[in-house]
Each structure stands twice: as structure tokens, then as C-alpha cells.
Homo-oligomer: A and B are copies of this chain.
Amino acid sequence: MIRIDLTAATPLAEQVRLALRRAIAEGEVAPGDELPSVRQLAGDLSINLNTVARAYRELEREGLVVSHRGRGTVVASLKSKSRVPRKELRGRMRDLCADALLSGYLRGDLEQWFHKEMKRGSW
């Protein structure tokens, strides 16, 4: 379902959270769908179940999923959106462009990447 990088600097739980956020945003999983159990997903990813549980809890705090003891975790209705501040998003856009520039990529490359993302989700 998702993939993580054990060597990356970002914490595992954070990676799991981000990957699931992306999957939800892109419609790969829809509201009402069951997520794998923490043990299942942890097993698939070869990490501890607590790490997955932490990701789920964060997503719940963001209103993206709902967990119930003994039952499981399902994707929530997306009415209650977790609002990322505009300022932060613009900062990330800025850093992204700066890094691309320093890495020698061209304006055209970046535009292509951008437009491919625009086609992916339900924009």
C-alpha cells in the first residue's frame, strides 16, 4: 500500500502519516474504506506496531481517519479538513524551487512535475 525509507531522516511514524495522507488526498482510499490494522501494516513495513499506531492517531487528530478499539480504522469523511497554513505551504514551494534550481533542473522540468501532480488528484 505504501512504502517507507528506513534510512531517511524523517521519523518512521511521520513517513507513514504522510504517505497515508497522500493516499487519502489522491483518492487512492476513499472515505469509509478500512485501513490495514496496525499489526498488519507494521508487519508489511517491518516496523513496530506502535509506530503505525502513532501515525493513525495523528491522522485521527487531523480528522482524516477514525479509530475504534477492537474494530479498526477507517477513512473519515473529508468534510473536516486538517488545515495546513498557507504560509507553510508557500514556504515549502519556495524551498522546493530553490533546491531544484541549485540542483540544475530547469524551469521546464519543474513545470512538468507540477502539471503531472495537477492531473493526479481530484482537482
Interfacial residues, chain A to chain B (CB-CB below 8 A):
18, 21-22, 24-26, 64, 78, 81-84, 86, 89-90, 92-107, 110-111, 113-114, 117-118, 120-123
Contacts and interface: CB of A to CB of B under 8 A. Distances in A.
A92 B107 CA distance: 16
Q: Which of A90, A93, A111, A123 has the most CB of B within 10 A?
A: A93
Contact of A21 (B99, B111, B118): B99
Contact of A103 (B22, B82, B92, B121): B82
A10 to B, nearest CB: 10
Contact of A94 (B22, B83, B100): B22
Contacts of A113: 89-90, 93
Given A22-B94, A114-B114, A99 B105 contact: no
A119 to B, nearest CB: 10
